[in-house]
Amino acid sequence: NYELELLYEGKAKKVYKYNNYKLLIEFKDDVTAFNGLKKNNIINKGKINKQISSHFFELLNKKGINTHFVRDYDDKSFIAKWTNLIPLEVIVRNYAAGSFCKRYGVKKGYKFEFPLVEFSLKNDELGDPMITSEAILLLKLTSEEILNEIISISKKVNEILSRYLAEVGIILVDFKLEFGLSKEDNQLLLIDEISPDTCRFWDAHTMESFDKDVYREDKGDLITAYTEILGRLKI
């Protein structure tokens, strides 16, 4: 409820116009799973996810990854560069989990020999179907040059975050990234959020989940799990 124009309201975030080139992104307490079929409001989830997301974006900015994150605004929102979104969800996987196990009948926890990069079309109505690189180019969702850049940035993000999290006893199992082209200068930027809503985090020793699987699978308290991740970060 800022005195700003609300441009878009998603399942977990609200996006306001901050100025011609910047957005204010507010993290909501709503949590959803299974494409919105399961839905709850969990006090403080927004604040925790904002903090975790800001921290990861700052780390990535420092490591030379261009992200939309500019600065924190308050405890549940940050200022970001305004981009034209590329309608793709990029999934990077280091271990088998979630839809990968379901799709291929693989046991959860199987460690991949190399990180797997997959794409989904960002479209709620269609249920975010998986899409191949060739279909992405055919449908002109982005250019080949940008697609290659997206793949290489996604792998770099995986290396940076996996290494950082390993130091605090967390396995980065998989995660989802989104990209956009900045309105100001058409620069390719990593956008959206990086939080327990969009990543799978397992304790390196117990394999316990500290992410949205706790909610998806009803296996504990979401705030306890998200607070555990937040507590391990070197903030």
Confirm if 49 and 35 have CB atoms less than 8 A apart: no
- Cβ–Cβ under 8 Å, residues 183 and 192: no
Residue number with CB closer to ligand C5P (106 or 235): 106
Q: Which residues bind ligand C5P (CB under 6 A)?
A: 89, 91, 97-100, 128, 174-176, 198-200, 212
Tell me how far, at minimum, the Cβ of 144 lies from ligand C5P, in Å: 24
Output 106 or 137, the one with its CB closest to ligand C5P.
106
* 25 contact partners, CB below 8 Å, separation of at least 6: 13, 14, 15, 16, 77, 78, 79, 80, 193
The Cα 90–Cα 74 span in angstroms is 28
- Give the H or E element holding residue 166: helix 144-166
Q: How far is the CB of 130 from ligand C5P (least distance, A)?
A: 9
Smallest distance, ligand C5P to C-beta of residue 186, A: 26
CB 184, min distance to ligand C5P, A: 27
Question: At closest approach, how far in Å is the CB of 3 from ligand C5P?
Answer: 30
- CB of 31 vs ligand C5P, minimal distance in Å: 11
CB atoms within 10 A of CB 131: 20
- Give 68 or 200: the residue with its C-beta nearer to ligand C5P: 200
CA 77 to chain centre: 16
Token output for 46: 């927004």
Which is nearer to ligand C5P, 44 or 99 (by Cβ)? 99
The residue number with the shortest CB distance to ligand C5P is 98
Q: Which is nearer to ligand C5P, 199 or 229 (CB)?
A: 199
Q: How many residues does the chain have?
A: 235
14 vs 176, beta carbon nearer ligand C5P: 176
Which DSSP state fits 72? E
What is the identity of the amino acid at 207? M
